[in-house]
Amino acid sequence: MDCMRIRSILSHRKNWKYDVFVSFRGETGNNFTDHLFDALHKHGILAFRDDTKLEKGGLISEGLMQAIEGSHVLIVVFSMNYASSTWCLQELANIADCIQIPGQHVLPIFYDVSPSEVRKQSRKYEEAFVEHEERFKDDADMMEQLPRWRAALTQVANLSGWDVKDKSQSVEIENIVKAVTSKLSPKLSSCLSNDIVGMHSPLEKIEKLLVLDSEDDVRVVGIWGMGGIGKSTLATILYEKISHQFDVSCFVDDVSKTYSDYGTLGVQKELLCQAFMDEDFQICNLSLASNLMQTRFCHRKVLMILDNVETGTPLEKLAIKRERLGRGSRIVLVSRNEHILREYGVDGIYKVKLLNNENSLQLFCSKAFKCNQVTKDYERLTKSALTYAKGLPLAIKVLGSFLFGRDVSEWSSALVRLKEKPTKDIMDVLRISFDGLEDMEKEIFLDIACFFSNETEGCVKHILCIRGFHPDIGIRVLIDKSLLTRVPWRIVMHDLLRELGRSIVREKSPKEPRKWSRLWNQKDLRDVLRENQRAKNLEAIVLRRFLETKEELSVEALSRMDQLNLLILWQKEFLRTSAYSF
């Protein structure tokens, strides 16, 4: 699932026409209520505002009732003369009816009146009802409404809210917006169970690293893992879940691309515009941008998530420094490269893991069958597909979506084809990491992909030394960039990364093995030997079965391989290694 799809699922506007409905008396319209609407808009909250002017005694429209019923959060701003408006009281009665509706929230604000006056209908509120009783004494229908209105006032005033009388309006409005945002934030449990697999535990671990309940310092946490493993998905869900806890928050989807396309100024402008959405930042130079970054963020609790932080993204130059953020701020850096995270000085790193068998199956079924179980007759093919994907979420989703709605024979054909030619959508994502390597690291990656995945580390380093490479630092870099994994005594590469390496070797001449730099398949070597032509690019040959080819692998045949400097022949448990110069 791509990040835009996740954000659609998590959007608090999915089931509601409006985020917020505000009921208020006109006398607050030019001050407190206006500022409240502005603050809601600034935070991207869609608020319904009723500016209709009706004569006293008019009935509220069906459309207005629908707006109340269709709003996620219902705010009532009680003012001195609120109860004198029958229009407001009708709104309030309908709002009170929504208190027990699951998912809706009612929040009272006491502007220039005490909660007790509203709850007990004393003073101005009692005077208002005396006037209503006198006015409607000959209107039985309206007289029947008076007890309902009184009950609604008592019911709503008993709810937890804000008494803003004689307090700083800006501070109180900020607190109100935080509470509203918290109410709008989705409950992740339903989304996780239906659409996002295997995220509960990672989220908990990242939140633990962030230490969200502490505001004593600024913490920086890294999310690290190979391409397609779900780092961006995880960061997006994390942002949606915790952003309401901060004064300002911003999420840069692809900071490396933004920096590459628009430079330092482009990244800084995106951060500022996201954090302060109602302001049009006319920034034309780095000095001004850096100054704004410091002055606007230094006294605020900030959440900043930067996705795809890679080599060449100078975080220091971007003025993204913990000392420039207010206490309690959190920075989350998402990268394929662990070394970048360590270099920046993160307080902790969460390494995203491949999905386990249970979660892999659940995710695959949701894509391939649109349900939670394998359709009959597809069990064997499902197992084969999951063996191919090896727990990589991107591969599972791409493959499952491709196979959806196809019959058994089409599944069989597709899976055979995948083994010959991996899906481009998957390979393109994985290749990003390869393209960012230095030349020596690329050569080491290709050697391991073609020959040495899941071999002992000592053996691999010995052979790479023969090749003239520098394996200690090279292997460390590949591990940092999530292209290799070190398990006890072995170097392991994910099967899809191995296929990526082999496809890179083949890509310029897919049907002409003699033009490849490496040969790992006995049939391909036999074809090259039989052609009796020079193999000008061939650098290395590694075969697992030697006996069948030893007669053909003569000195004369080897002499036609101009660049060959490594020949490895495995025969059962016996390894023969030779370095050649021709």
Residue 360 has pLDDT above 60, yes or no: yes
Q: How confident is the model at residue 333 (pLDDT cuts 50, 70, 90)?
A: very high
Same domain, 77 and 179: yes
pLDDT digits (tens, 9 = 90+) for 112-152: 899 999 999 999 999 999 999 999 888 888 899 999 999 99
Residue partners of 276: CB distance under 8 A and separation at least 6: 42, 248, 296
pLDDT digits (tens, 9 = 90+) for 492-525: 999 999 999 999 999 989 889 989 999 998 888 8
Residue 493 lies in a domain: no
Could you tell me which of 440, 500, 450 has the C-alpha nearest to residue 475?
440
pLDDT digits (tens, 9 = 90+) for 243-287: 888 888 899 988 988 888 888 888 888 888 887 765 556 677 777
Could you tell me which of 203, 252, 243 has the C-alpha nearest to residue 223?
203
C-alpha pair distances (Å), 556 with each of 73, 502, 532: 82, 27, 10
Same domain, 252 and 145: no
For residues 156 and 253, the model is more confident at: 156
Q: Rounded distance, CA 180 to CA 161, Å?
A: 11
Same domain, 313 and 385: no
Active-site choice (27, 55, 62, 91): 91
pLDDT digits (tens, 9 = 90+) for 22-32: 999 876 645 88
Same domain, 21 and 159: yes
Same domain, 237 and 340: yes
Residue 72 has pLDDT above 70, yes or no: yes
Q: How many CB atoms lie within 10 A of CB 72?
A: 22
Q: Rounded distance, CA 568 to CA 308, Å?
A: 38
Q: Rounded distance, CA 188 to CA 186, Å?
A: 6
Amino acid code (one letter) for 147 = P
Strand, coil or helix: 138:
coil
Angle at Cα 35 formed by Cα 31 and Cα 36, nearest 5°? 115
Residue 558 has pLDDT above 80, yes or no: no
Average pLDDT, the chain: 84
Q: How confident is the model at residue 353 (pLDDT cuts 50, 70, 90)?
A: very high
For residues 577 and 240, the model is more confident at: 240
C-alpha pair distances (Å), 531 with each of 525, 534, 562: 10, 9, 15
Q: How confident is the model at residue 10 (pLDDT cuts 50, 70, 90)?
A: very low
Pairing assessment for the beta strands 18-24 and 47-48 based on DSSP bridges:
parallel
Query: Given the structure tokens 């380093």, which residue do they identify?
Result: 461
User: Whole-prediction pTM value?
Assistant: 0.73
Q: How confident is the model at residue 11 (pLDDT cuts 50, 70, 90)?
A: very low
Q: Rounded distance, CA 504 to CA 498, Å?
A: 10
Pairing assessment for the beta strands 574-578 and 566-571 based on DSSP bridges:
antiparallel
Q: Rounded distance, CA 329 to CA 315, Å?
A: 17
Q: How confident is the model at residue 186 (pLDDT cuts 50, 70, 90)?
A: low
**The predicted structure's pLDDT at residue 54:** 38
Sort 394 into a burial class: Cβ within 10 Å, 0-12 / 13-18 / 19+. Answer: buried
Same domain, 255 and 311: yes
| Domain boundary, last residue among 420, 455, 471 | 420
Q: How confident is the model at residue 543 (pLDDT cuts 50, 70, 90)?
A: confident
Q: Quick one: average pLDDT of 461-484?
A: 92
Amino acid code (one letter) for 436 = G
Same domain, 94 and 39: yes
Q: Rounded distance, CA 174 to CA 152, Å?
A: 27
Q: How far is CA 232 from the centre of its chain?
A: 4
Residue 393 has pLDDT above 70, yes or no: yes
Q: Which residues of 273-295 are buried (b: 16+ CB within 10 A; e: fewer)?
A: eebbeeeeeebeeeeebbebbee
Q: How confident is the model at residue 55 (pLDDT cuts 50, 70, 90)?
A: very low
N- to C-terminal Cα separation, the chain: 51
Residue 569 has pLDDT above 50, yes or no: yes
Structure tokens at 89: 């009281």
Residue 5 has pLDDT above 50, yes or no: no
Largest CA distance in the chain: 117
Could you tell me which of 187, 189, 186, 199 has the C-alpha nearest to residue 363?
199
Sort 340 into a burial class: Cβ within 10 Å, 0-12 / 13-18 / 19+. Answer: buried
pLDDT digits (tens, 9 = 90+) for 203-239: 999 999 999 988 889 999 999 999 999 999 999 889 9
Same domain, 251 and 362: no
**The predicted structure's pLDDT at residue 566:** 76
**The predicted structure's pLDDT at residue 582:** 41
C-alpha pair distances (Å), 52 with each of 41, 63, 96, 108, 473: 20, 12, 21, 21, 71
**The predicted structure's pLDDT at residue 545:** 59
Q: Rounded distance, CA 346 to CA 247, Å?
A: 22
Residue 461 lies in a domain: no
Q: Are 337 and 211 in contact (CB under 8 A)?
A: no
C-alpha pair distances (Å), 45 with each of 38, 75, 184: 10, 13, 9
Same domain, 177 and 285: no
**The predicted structure's pLDDT at residue 49:** 80
Same domain, 121 and 203: no
**The predicted structure's pLDDT at residue 170:** 85
Residue 3 has pLDDT above 70, yes or no: no
| Domain boundary, last residue among 183, 215, 239 | 183
379-389 and 357-368 helices cross at what angle (nearest 10)? 120
Same domain, 162 and 30: yes
Q: Are 19 and 13 in contact (CB under 8 A)?
A: yes
Q: Quick one: average pLDDT of 428-438?
A: 91
**The predicted structure's pLDDT at residue 297:** 86
Q: What domain count does the chain have?
A: 4
Q: Rounded distance, CA 443 to CA 422, Å?
A: 21
Question: Is 91 an annotated catalytic residue?
Answer: yes
**The predicted structure's pLDDT at residue 183:** 83
Range of the domain at 213: 187-351
CATH assignment of the domain containing 193 = 3.40.50.300
Same domain, 42 and 99: yes
Residue 438 lies in a domain: no
pLDDT digits (tens, 9 = 90+) for 81-102: 999 999 899 999 999 999 988 8
| Domain boundary, last residue among 183, 198, 229 | 183
Residue 472 lies in a domain: no
